[in-house]
Structure formats: C-alpha cells, structure tokens
C-alpha cells in the first residue's frame, strides 16, 4: 500500500467560504483538533491577506509547529512580498511550507494576470527559487490547472521542480473536471514532468459538479501522493473535497485505491462539529460520514436487517468516526422489531398482548407526528400498561 499525505486546507480555502471568518484563536482550536486527527500538513492561511491571517498562521506555527508535529503551510501568490510574509508568519514552525500559487490557463493569463506563457514560466522560476531560498519545503500550485493546456502545464511544473518545488499541485480551481479526466491529467504530469519521481503530486478539487471527492480519489488512484481537503467540504462556492469522505473512502475500500492515509478517524465527528460551530455553516443531515442522519435507519425493512446484523445496511461502524452506535429512529416505516428493541432499550416492562396494543397506537401516532422521540414511546406504554 502506498502511503499518501493529506493537506488540510480548512483554515485557508475553507475560510474562503462566503461568510466564514475564523479568528486566530479559532484557527488554533481547529488546528489542535486536526493534530488529534493526525493530519500531517495544515495549511493555516494566506499570511499576506490581513493582519488576522498573519496571526492565524503565526500562532499555529508557534504552538503546533514542533519537530514531531505537522508541517505548517501558508499560501502565497507568485509575488516576493507574499512569499516573504508567508516566511515571516511560518518562522516559528519546525517544518514550514510555502505554497506558491500561479495560474496556468490561457483564460487566467489573458484576463486576470495579463501575462504571456513565457512570462509565467519566468515568474514560476523566480518565485519558486525565492521561496526555496527561505524554506526547504515549497509547494507549487498551478491555478486553474484542469483548464490549462496540458503541455504548457507540464512545462511550468518542470520549471517549478527545477527551481526547488517538492510538491506539484493540480488544482481543479473551478470544479470543472470529472474523475476520468482528472486521473488522466495526474498520469500525464507523472509521465511528462522532468524529475517528478522525486516530487509529490497533489490533488486539489472543488465541488461545483458534486465531484470533488470522486476526482480526488481518482487522482490518488492515478498516482497522486497528496490530497488537499477541508473538513465538512467547506470552501469557495460549492466547497472543496471533504476530508472525512476521502479518508473514509480510502479506509472502507482500501484495495480499490491501493493507498492509505494514517488518520485517526475516531476524531472525525468531533472535528466536524467544531468546524460547523466556528464556520457557522450547518452540515446537511444527509451529508456523508458526518451528517446527523449518516448512521440512522428508519424504514422497517432496514431496521429489521440492522437488528439482525448491522452489516446488512451499514458499511462503516459509527464508532470508527466517533459517532454513536446505530441509532434506532422510530417513524411511520418502522416495524415490530424496531419497536420491541426500543421498548427494551428504554427498560419498559410489557407483556405480549400489551405489545400489540402499543404497536397499534404507535402506528397511529407515527402517521400524525413528524418525528417520534423516546418520550412518545414511554407515554404510549404508560397509557396502555398503566
């Protein structure tokens, strides 16, 4: 099994979610939780963006950037001042990483940067070499890589590598790619970029088409050695690849990908809840892995199966991600097995004849009420038995 790295970018790309602003002490709190999860790389922010961003990166570098702690990263545009600022913020970290970002698509070159391809090559060489003169660990990100000319992308990556970049990131900045295409871009980069064998290729996928996790997994299976993800999938627009989805897909179906990530999955739910609270972005109930309903079963057919053997309808043990064991939700689709189990769980004493009466009242109530809670069952039983 090939080991892959995860770069958690919740504090940088995640913070770019509309309406999200993490204060430095909140960033530190989230970063501590990421350390509990054993995340090897934490992208702590974009140091030059504001004083608060600088402080966020700096405090994480100071408090968590020990030699046996994670790599701490700051983003920088391909400007000297950005890179110097990232370096200053990262100074206390034992393992600092500067990520230099420069767009490579003709669309961005023409309308945003007003640069020719030759100028992009020169700027890549200068800025990556400058970052490398300050720190050992430099990541180069080719913004809008998936809409860039592939030969040009490989030329830029070759120059970045020659100038000292150790990680080459392929951002699907606008969430435009699909799994087969993203995998083929990764394979082309691995085949064509000079010296790539000594570097790590990284995924960075957005969810505009709902494919961020799928693209990330396709990239990893195709040979990428690092994935950039956010907790709860927060990020610009529709967000980024979700850390919990990528990690649990790798853990649940290891042979399909041939890679492993050493993440403490038991800390996933706690981390998700912290990010949900501090970002004020509610996790949808049906969100994979961390949604409130992710391990709930309501239909009678499923509940019966779950009570016989949880593998019938469950592919992940809830405890694996720090969630409570199988939660029996009673509703209009629940049957006798579930009701009997719930009555036992609640330690209510009831004979077989009374049970049939309770069952009928339960069916009656569940047709009228949106959600049945434990107290409803206690009341039903007391009314019939008492």
Strand partners of residue 143: 103
C-alpha 246/C-alpha 8 separation (Å) is 12
Q: Does 13 bind Mn ion (CB under 5 A)?
A: yes
What is the CA 55 to chain-centroid distance, rounded? 24
How many residues in total does the chain contain?
A: 386
What is the CA 229 to chain-centroid distance, rounded? 4
65 versus 175: smaller Cβ distance to Mn ion? 175
Of residues 99-158, which lie at the interface with Mn ion (CB under 5 A)? Answer: none
Kindly tell me the burial class for residue 19, based on how many C-beta atoms sit within 10 Å of its own C-beta (0-12, 13-18, 19 or more): exposed
CB of 68 to Mn ion, least distance (A): 29
CB of 7 to Mn ion, least distance (A): 12
C-alpha 327/C-alpha 325 separation (Å) is 6
C-alpha 130/C-alpha 272 separation (Å) is 37
45 versus 318: smaller Cβ distance to Mn ion? 45
CB of 147 to Mn ion, least distance (A): 14
C-alpha 217/C-alpha 4 separation (Å) is 11
Helix 150-162 vs helix 179-192: crossing angle, to nearest 10? 50
Stretch that binds Mn ion, among 10-18, 67-75, 192-200, 375-383 (CB under 5 A): 10-18
CB of 277 to Mn ion, least distance (A): 23
CB of 104 to Mn ion, least distance (A): 14
Stretch that binds Mn ion, among 13-21, 102-110, 242-250, 356-364 (CB under 5 A): 13-21
How, if at all, do strands 71-77 and 96-103 pair?
parallel
Q: Which residue is nearest to Mn ion (CB)?
A: 13
Q: Does 207 bind Mn ion (CB under 5 A)?
A: no
H or E segment and range at residue 244: helix 243-252
H or E segment and range at residue 171: strand 167-172
Q: Which of 136, 132, 201 is nearest to 168 (CA)?
A: 201
19 and 239 Cβ atoms separated by less than 8 Å: no
9 versus 290: smaller Cβ distance to Mn ion? 9
- CA angle, 191 then 192 then 196, to 5°: 75
98 versus 372: smaller Cβ distance to Mn ion? 98
At 202, give phi and psi (nearest 5°).
-115, 145
Stretch that binds Mn ion, among 9-17, 33-41, 121-129, 132-140 (CB under 5 A): 9-17
CB of 294 to Mn ion, least distance (A): 25
13 versus 53: smaller Cβ distance to Mn ion? 13
Stretch that binds Mn ion, among 12-20, 40-48, 109-117, 366-374 (CB under 5 A): 12-20
Stretch that binds Mn ion, among 8-16, 19-27, 178-186, 311-319 (CB under 5 A): 8-16
97 versus 297: smaller Cβ distance to Mn ion? 97
Stretch that binds Mn ion, among 11-19, 132-140, 145-153, 361-369 (CB under 5 A): 11-19
C-alpha 35/C-alpha 38 separation (Å) is 5
45 versus 300: smaller Cβ distance to Mn ion? 45
CB of 266 to Mn ion, least distance (A): 28
Of residues 289-318, which lie at the interface with Mn ion (CB under 5 A)? Answer: none
CB of 172 to Mn ion, least distance (A): 8
228 versus 244: smaller Cβ distance to Mn ion? 228
CB of 15 to Mn ion, least distance (A): 11
CB of 262 to Mn ion, least distance (A): 24
143 versus 298: smaller Cβ distance to Mn ion? 143
307 and 339 Cβ atoms separated by less than 8 Å: no
Total site size for Mn ion, rule CB under 5 A: 1
Q: Which of 200, 192, 198 is nearest to 169 (CA)?
A: 200
165 versus 380: smaller Cβ distance to Mn ion? 165
Q: Extract the tokens encoding 154.
A: 């490989």
Binding stretches for Mn ion (CB under 5 A): 13
């Amino acid at each position: 099994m090939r080991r892959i790295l995860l770069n958690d970018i919740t504090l940088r790309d995640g913070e770019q979610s509309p309406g999200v602003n993490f204060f430095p002490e909140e960033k530190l709190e989230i970063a501590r939780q990421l350390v509990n999860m054993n995340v090897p790389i934490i992208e702590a922010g974009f140091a030059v963006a504001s004083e608060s961003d600088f402080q966020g990166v700096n405090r994480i570098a100071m408090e968590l950037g020990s030699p046996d702690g994670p790599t701490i990263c700051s983003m920088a545009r391909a400007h000297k001042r950005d890179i110097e600022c990232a370096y200053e913020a990262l100074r206390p970290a034992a393992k600092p990483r500067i990520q230099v970002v420069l767009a490579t698509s003709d669309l961005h070159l023409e309308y945003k940067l007003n640069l020719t391809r030759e100028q992009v090559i020169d700027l890549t060489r200068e800025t990556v070499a400058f970052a490398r003169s300050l720190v050992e660990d430099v990541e180069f990100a080719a913004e809008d890589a998936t809409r860039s000319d592939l030969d040009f992308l490989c030329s830029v990556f070759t120059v970045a590598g020659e100038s000292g970049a150790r990680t080459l990131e392929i951002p699907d900045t606008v969430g435009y790619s699909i799994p087969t295409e993203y995998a083929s871009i990764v394979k082309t980069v691995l085949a064509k970029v000079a010296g790539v064998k000594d570097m790590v290729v990284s995924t960075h996928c957005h969810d505009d088409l709902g494919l961020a996790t799928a693209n990330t997994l396709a990239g990893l299976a195709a040979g990428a050695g690092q994935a950039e993800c956010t907790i709860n999938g927060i990020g610009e627009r529709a967000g980024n690849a979700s850390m919990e989805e990528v990690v649990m897909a790798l853990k649940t179906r290891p042979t399909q990908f041939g890679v492993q990530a050493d993440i403490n999955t038991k800390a996933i739910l706690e981390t998700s809840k912290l990010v949900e609270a501090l970002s004020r972005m509610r996790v949808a109930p049906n969100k994979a892995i961390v949604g409130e309903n992710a391990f709930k079963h309501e239909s009678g057919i499923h509940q019966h199966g779950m009570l016989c053997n949880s593998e019938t309808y469950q592919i992940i043990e809830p405890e694996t991600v720090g969630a409570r064991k199988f939660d029996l939700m009673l509703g209009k689709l629940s049957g006798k097995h579930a009701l009997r189990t719930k009555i036992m769980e609640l330690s209510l004493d009831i004979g077989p004849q009374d049970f049939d009466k309770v069952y009928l009242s339960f069916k009656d109530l569940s047709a009228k009420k949106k959600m049945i809670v434990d107290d409803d069952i206690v009341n039903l039983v007391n009314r019939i038995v008492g």
